[in-house]
Amino acid sequence: MSRPEDQGPAELYYGDAEAQKYTNNSRIQKIQAEMTHRALELLALPPDQPLFLLDIGCGSGLSGEILDELGYIWAGVDIAPSMLQVALEREVEGDLFLQDIGQGFGFRPGSFDGAISISVLQWLLTSPSSHPNDTPPARLTRFFTTLYAVLRNPSRAVFQFYPETDDQITLITTIARKPASVVELSSTIPIHARHAKCSSVSCMDVDNEGLPRGLNGEDPNEEKRNVTFERRRARERLHGKKKKKGGIDKEWILKKKELYRQRGKQDVPNDSKYTGRRRKPVF
């Protein structure tokens, strides 16, 4: 069976149909959940703190939902518009960005307390074009160099990916160690019996000595930053994170439909006097 990354760029492979198929596959949901929990375990984050995480290759938000449940604030990046559209429809709580990670990250230095990436790095091992700056080593170099810059000091990033050969693991780990900010990189390789897939999990400790003053070490705005996150959580507890299906009212439905229209979504039903009206049970 051919690998998805060998069939074309991720933004083309994960079209509307494939994005829905991927998200609704119960086996993929189970594997994604297991790997996300394992990645968070390796991050070894301090408990009961308002931490801001980066989900690299967030897709339709399967990992993001777990981050939501565990109380983390997060942002996700992905190159496939269809995947991000599914994430919006599923109403995940994170901030979503359409971005090619092979071109690097544009976030403010020291923005994130940690990063996870599930089943993504193997896509950087293919060249989407013949341009000399789009070779796998160049894409990996831009990816790791800019990633370390947007992580706080110190912090950790965990990557789970599917290498095809040992040479691919060597290429990734060699480039990942090049920036001076990497203190330690460890790798474990659990084998998935089904389909004989090999999954590499790399855990990187990052110490960004080159960050601007105020982001390296103690953050002078740390107290204000924590207050902002606590206020957001307080609002969520007060108003409830999401309305349950049985409690949806007309105002909520109209607001949601207007949001979809602003995003350019097609086939949004017209408003009518029946909008939000409860239907009688059918016996």
CATH number of the CATH domain containing 13: 3.40.50.150
Look at residue 104 and tell me whether its pLDDT is greater than 60. Answer: yes
Question: CB within 8 A of 170, min separation 6: which ones?
Answer: none
**pLDDT band for position 240 (cuts 50, 70, 90):** low
Is 80 found in the same domain as 154?
A: yes
Is 80 found in the same domain as 163?
A: yes
Look at residue 27 and tell me whether its pLDDT is greater than 60. Answer: yes
Is 279 found in the same domain as 154?
A: no
Amino acid in the structure at residue 247: G
Range with the lowest mean pLDDT among 6-20, 93-107, 221-235, 239-253?
221-235
Residue-wise pLDDT tens digits, 262-276: 777 778 888 888 787
Is 272 found in the same domain as 210?
A: no
In a domain, 235, yes or no: no
Is 150 found in the same domain as 12?
A: yes
Kindly provide the residue ranges of all beta strands, DSSP E only, lying in the chain, ordered along the sequence.
52-56, 73-78, 95-98, 112-118, 151-161, 182-188, 191-192, 197-198, 200-206
Interhelix angle 16-24/26-43, rounded to 10 degrees, is: 70
Across residues 11-18, what is the average pLDDT?
89
Q: What is the distance between the alpha carbons of residues 36 and 116, in angstroms, rounded to a whole number?
A: 8
In a domain, 103, yes or no: yes
- Please say whether the beta carbons of 152 and 215 come within 8 A: yes
For the chain, how many structural domains are there in total?
Answer: 2
Across residues 154-166, what is the average pLDDT?
88
Tokens of 144: 């790791």
Is 99 found in the same domain as 170?
A: yes
Is 160 found in the same domain as 96?
A: yes
Tokens of 48: 């009961």
Question: CB within 8 A of 244, min separation 6: which ones?
Answer: none
Q: Is 82 helix (H, G, I), strand (E, B) or coil?
A: helix
Q: What is the distance between the alpha carbons of residues 96 and 81, in angstroms, rounded to a whole number?
A: 10
Q: Is 154 helix (H, G, I), strand (E, B) or coil?
A: strand
Domain range enclosing 129: 4-230
Amino acid 272: pLDDT: 84
Range with the lowest mean pLDDT among 58-72, 143-157, 172-186?
172-186
Interhelix angle 81-89/16-24, rounded to 10 degrees, is: 50
Interhelix angle 166-177/136-150, rounded to 10 degrees, is: 40
Is 98 found in the same domain as 45?
A: yes
Q: What is the distance between the alpha carbons of residues 64 and 76, in angstroms, rounded to a whole number?
A: 8
In a domain, 72, yes or no: yes
In a domain, 9, yes or no: yes
**pLDDT band for position 180 (cuts 50, 70, 90):** low
Look at residue 100 and tell me whether its pLDDT is greater than 90. Answer: yes
In a domain, 238, yes or no: no
C-alpha dihedral over 172, 175, 179, 184, to 10 degrees? 40
Q: What is the distance between the alpha carbons of residues 196 and 183, in angstroms, rounded to a whole number?
A: 32
Question: CB within 8 A of 220, min separation 6: which ones?
Answer: 214
Amino acid 250: pLDDT: 82
Residue-wise pLDDT tens digits, 119-155: 999 999 876 655 566 889 999 999 999 999 999 988 8
Is 104 found in the same domain as 153?
A: yes
Amino acid 34: pLDDT: 92
Is 144 found in the same domain as 207?
A: yes
Amino acid 144: pLDDT: 93
Amino acid 237: pLDDT: 61
Kindly provide the residue ranges of all beta strands, DSSP E only, lying in 21-91, ordered along the sequence.
52-56, 73-78
Range with the lowest mean pLDDT among 175-179, 193-197, 221-225, 243-247?
193-197
Is 41 found in the same domain as 9?
A: yes
- Please say whether the beta carbons of 253 and 276 come within 8 A: yes
**pLDDT band for position 10 (cuts 50, 70, 90):** confident
Is 152 found in the same domain as 68?
A: yes
Residue-wise pLDDT tens digits, 183-232: 667 666 554 434 435 566 777 777 765 444 334 444 445 555 555 556 56
Amino acid 254: pLDDT: 86
